[in-house]
Chain A
Amino acid sequence: MALSMLAQESGSVTSEQIEHLHRRFKQLSQDQLTIRKENFDSIPDLEFNPIRGKIVHAFFDKRNLRQESDGLAEEINFEDFLTIMSYFRPIEMNMDEEQLDRFRKEKLKFLFHMYDSDHDGKITLQEYRNVVEELLSGNPHLEKESARSIADGAMMEAASICVGQMGPDQVYEGITFEDFLKMWQGIDIETKMHVRFLNVDTIAHCY
């Protein structure tokens, strides 16, 4: 089974972490081998998360699962579950520049996929608006109108950051991944996007 296999591969250094995740996985899947979207509904704390749809979606996004194909998976197994979790592993002390860069890009890619809901490699204005609306939906007083103009403003900003000189009839179609990288310049995402308990070398070694 996945667990024993992973434990073997990782040299069982911190198999307890994986074990924990596996227990959790089983709990979520109700002892099945795979998890479906509905299983996530059983997590009560997730209920209040304004972008829970997007997050759950990301678990089933094949782009995140490092399968070459595109589209949405119906169900994911434990290995996939670990793959998603590994996006949130913290930075390691002994990483060199190149690894760090790849590490960073991986994390950003995950985020990018979350925004780019139609899988066309661009975050269009509409997509951005959706995300912002969802993000701000936690505040019941905020109108959709404000969310929209915030998204518009953010898009303007993105365009002004990412595209240099532009002709008057040129049109900014959306944020590509390259632009996305540009926008994140100077923010050390690698130190921010991590979840503490996933301090697991094993996940990294698995792949």
Chain B
Amino acid sequence: MRPVSGVALLLGLMALPAALGQRSSESHKNSNESFAIVSFKWDHVKEPYIIALWILVASLAKIVFHLSHKVTRVVPESALLIVLGLFLGGIVWAADHLASFSLTPTVFFFYLLPPIVLDAGYFMPNRLFFGNLGSILLYAVIGTVWNAATTGLSLYGVYLTGIMGELHSGLLDFLLFGSLIAAVDPVAVLAVFEEVHVNEVLFIIVFGESLLNDAVTVVLYNVFDSFVAIGETNVTGIECLKGIVSFFVVSLGGTLVGIIFAFLLSLVSRFTKHVRIIEPGFVFIISYLSYLTAEMLSLSAILAITFCGICCQKYVKANISEQSSTTVRYTMKMLASGAETIIFMFLGISAVDPEIWTWNTAFILLTLVFISVYRVIGVVIQTWILNRYRTVQLEIIDQVVMSYGGLRGAVAFALVALLDGNKVKDRKLFVSTTIIVVFFTVIFQGLTIKPLVQWLKVKKTEHREPKLNEKLHGRAFDHILSAIEDISGQIGHHYLRDKWSNFDRKYLRKILMRRSAQKSRDQILNVFHELNLKDAISYVAEGERRGSLAFIRSPSTDNMVNVDFSTPLPSAVESSVSYLLREKAGPVCLDMQALEQRRKSIRDTEDTLAHHTLQQYLYKPRQERNSSVIPNGNIPPENPVQDFALKEKDLEFSESEENNDYETLHLGKGVDFLANVTKQNFTDAPAGDMDHDVEMTEYSSSDDQLNQNGSVSVNPLHFFPSCLQMPWTQNYSSLENRGNISLSAVSEYIASCDPNVPDLFWESGTDMKNKETVNSGYCSEVSFKSENSQEENTLLMFEGLEDSYMKEPQEKKMLLDIEGNYRSAAARRVQSRRSFHRPKPLHHPKLQKLASLPASCHVPPHSLEQEETQL
């Protein structure tokens, strides 16, 4: 079995420190006499070394577990880790009969628990959480009190019958035990439920309960602990009242501490613009401080850090840079997951210690029975009450999962380990029982909950791609519902949320968010941004797949990739998505600030721009065609860049090649020419004109030659209409076919031939001189071609021309083509645009013309397809 091999590995690892220890002591003796060049200082590094080793062991164990999908699919990781811990503990114990490692409450509460809870709070789906807050609170407060009281009292009742034999505990001890065993554990719940994927409402209720019941647990625990200390006889009504008051103080105080620190954190993150590198650190440090502060004031620390995360997430995420946000996300997940791993492993290790064990079958079994039974009863009663008020009812299936998901975990263990053996006489029994309960719930229930969920057909969450429409409708929804509440004059859920978001917009955001963030932080805009990024990424990926790395890797800035000259917002050009992407693919840059400076602009202009760019090239060219800005008028700037990469290819070589080597076929000197044209367009250097003319002639001659000599069956004129219909094909063809020479020739040709078109095509601000030279050059070339062309081709071309002009009135409408079969929506979107000039669907007459598009590469369509499949 896999874990066994892991254990063998770990054995070796653990033998290492022992051996090192021996050796270091020996060498220490020797080094007294003379100066030692190398000496072992095991004692010097012992503690951190062991800690690091344990973490490494736990992490390696995780890798080993995941080598086998069969195991991890059935057994939850937490259970595996506990078993591993038991193994390791057994080995250590067998080695030196000493249980030196155990989960101490200090380590657990100070170092292991905070990251997990912070992670939970910071990534809490706020809307869902607050939407179900009522239910969560009921389960967390009433449910926990109910569980604690009933378990404690029932155990005491059974104890009085004498089944358990002789114990040294009174009623208060039982209640104390009940209170620490009652709470559902956030770590265990998170670990198990994350793998089960139940629907989000169910998850948030169970998980929210486990987080919020901390306050109750802490209070109950403290109250009973102090009651036990002062003795049963001294407990008065006033003490009980104090207990109740302290519950409110602890829970509300903890929450308040959390909110205050969240406010601080948001405020600090507003001003970290110039210290980007330590920006993520603030998130962790300040949240941790909230935890410690609450602990210091003996308030509920878990509540404090949870609410710190919940409240700050919105503002912090808006304020910090994208990179920092990613850092925070990953660091937090890493810390939380690491802590979780260590907790479960050490739970296992801690159990291997004969010192702590006392067996009392009746007590242990009855505890197990009582916590399960009372959990079920409690859930059923509370759900019955809740369902009278809830609109989304909790059904019986949900109740089963909720009852069954009441896992106990490390919190209970840490609390029981904290007990003072002098005050609580049966501490050992309580500890062993807690361990058994934790193991039982985590291992047995964790193992069985997945099949149970499947068997009961519990509604599961499906991961959905964020959709713009969904977000828009959702927003409209909020407004509509709050309006209906306003109109009918009642104060309801939506009314409150509406008022809160108004308050948030008017005051909180102004204080806590950067001005730029206020501007761009709109949820809808974010989704838009994400989708755009996705589109762009898959666009680039698609390009890369087809082997045009040059698309992203242009070395010099004056050939800026994907800069759209015709864009209405030229000032913001730098922030276009592809620029960003290129940045990532660029040379290694260690200076974060330098990276930052390259991207200063405001997000939403960038969005608009990116969208424009994408739109013009990918989405729906027709919409733009009649406006003064015509993407077609320019040679798309990607092309030259990309062609640069290929310009070394030998023209003659490619001519002698087979048809499907179209890539190289016509990328001879013409490429040089094109590149220069665009370069000049970019730089507007007047001196360039001379070179230009020279290159020009060179180009036309070579191309003419190409047309005459090449073994080409399809005449280039074939594709004229199609590319007129779809100006953006330029862009794609650059990626796909590298047929831009001929494509640009088309636009030039049209520009020179049709008196109406030049206005449209030449308004995009290119260098007029260049254009004229280009024009004349192409005119001669094209006329030469048309002389040679067949009659029907010409006809086809004009047909296409007419076609495209007829469509101009429909400019506002969109044109889409869906290819389907693409995994992500983004890929599909890109694909849908792409599929226009794919030669595949020949059933449509228009498509038939399209199919001839690759004529630009002088290649019959099927070879294109071959190409694709090869890649």
Contacts and interface: CB of A to CB of B under 8 A. Distances in A.
Interface of A: 20-21, 24, 27-28, 40, 43, 45-46, 48-52, 55, 85, 88, 90-91, 93, 111, 114, 125-126, 131-132, 135-136, 138-139, 141-143, 145-146, 149-150, 152-161, 163-173, 183-184, 186-187, 191-199
Contacts of A187: 470
Given A125-B813, A142-B525, A171-B815, A193 B481 contact: yes
Given A46-B483, A146-B605, A183-B473, 20 more contacts: A20-B490, A52-B483, A91-B391, A125-B812, A126-B812, A131-B476, A135-B472, A136-B522, A150-B525, A156-B619, A156-B816, A156-B829, A157-B829, A160-B828, A168-B815, A170-B815, A170-B817, A172-B815, A173-B813, A192-B477
B518 A85 contact: no
A39 B484 CA distance: 14
Contact of B480 (A51, A91, A139, A145): A51
Given A45-B486, A50-B479, A85-B488, A157 B817 contact: no
B464 interface: yes
A183 B468 CA distance: 11
Given A146-B604, A146-B607, A197 B818 contact: no
Nearest to B568: A145
Contacts of B608: 143, 145-146, 149
Nearest to B471: A154
B489 A150 contact: no
A166 B846 CA distance: 11
Contact of B814 (A150, A172, A191): A172
Contact of A88 (B467, B481, B604): B481
8 contacts: A28-B487, A50-B479, A139-B505, A150-B472, A159-B816, A160-B832, A161-B469, A170-B815
Residue among A126, A138, A145, A160 facing the most chain B CB atoms (10 A cut-off): A160
Given A27-B489, A158-B469, A48 B502 contact: yes
B810 A171 contact: yes
Nearest to A35: B487
A125 B623 CA distance: 12
A43 B495 CA distance: 13
B475 interface: yes
A154 B528 CA distance: 9
B392 interface: yes
Contacts of A45: 482, 486, 495, 498
Nearest to A46: B486
A149 B611 contact: yes
A160 B822 CA distance: 12
B492 A196 contact: yes
Nearest to B618: A156
Contacts of A194: 391
B489 A165 contact: no
A92 B528 CA distance: 35
A199 B819 CA distance: 45
Contacts of B531: 153, 157
A interface secondary structure, majority: helix
Given A49-B482, A197-B490, A168 B726 contact: yes
Given A51-B479, A196-B391, A171 B813 contact: yes
B575 interface: no
A126 B812 CA distance: 9
B317 interface: no
A150 B524 contact: yes
A132 B489 CA distance: 27
A125 B619 CA distance: 14
Residue among A111, A139, A170 facing the most chain B CB atoms (10 A cut-off): A139
Contact of A195 (B462, B473, B492): B492
Contacts of B495: 45
B526 to A, nearest CB: 11
Interface in B827-855: 828-829, 832, 836, 841, 844, 846-847, 850
Q: 3 shortest A-B CB distances, which residue pairs? A: A141-B519, A45-B486, A171-B813
A186 B461 CA distance: 11
B803 interface: yes
Residue among A28, A46, A142, A154 facing the most chain B CB atoms (10 A cut-off): A154
A172 B393 CA distance: 40
A172 B820 CA distance: 17
Nearest to A139: B522
B725 interface: yes
Contact of A169 (B482, B505, B815, B820): B815
A59 to B, nearest CB: 8
B612 interface: yes
B801 to A, nearest CB: 14
B522 A55 contact: no
A198 B482 CA distance: 13
B483 A55 contact: yes
Given A156-B829, A158-B469, A167 B847 contact: yes
Nearest to B623: A152
Contacts of A165: 817-820, 841
Contacts of A155: 814
A154 B472 contact: yes
B553 interface: no
A193 B816 contact: no
A164 B818 contact: yes
B492 A197 contact: yes
B812 A55 contact: no
A88 B699 CA distance: 69
Given A88-B484, A136-B524, A149-B611, A156 B604 contact: no
A143 B472 CA distance: 16
A130 B102 CA distance: 64
B601 interface: no
A64 B294 CA distance: 54
A155 B469 CA distance: 8
A110 to B, nearest CB: 9
Nearest to B609: A149
B604 A46 contact: no
Contacts of B844: 167-168
Nearest to A48: B502
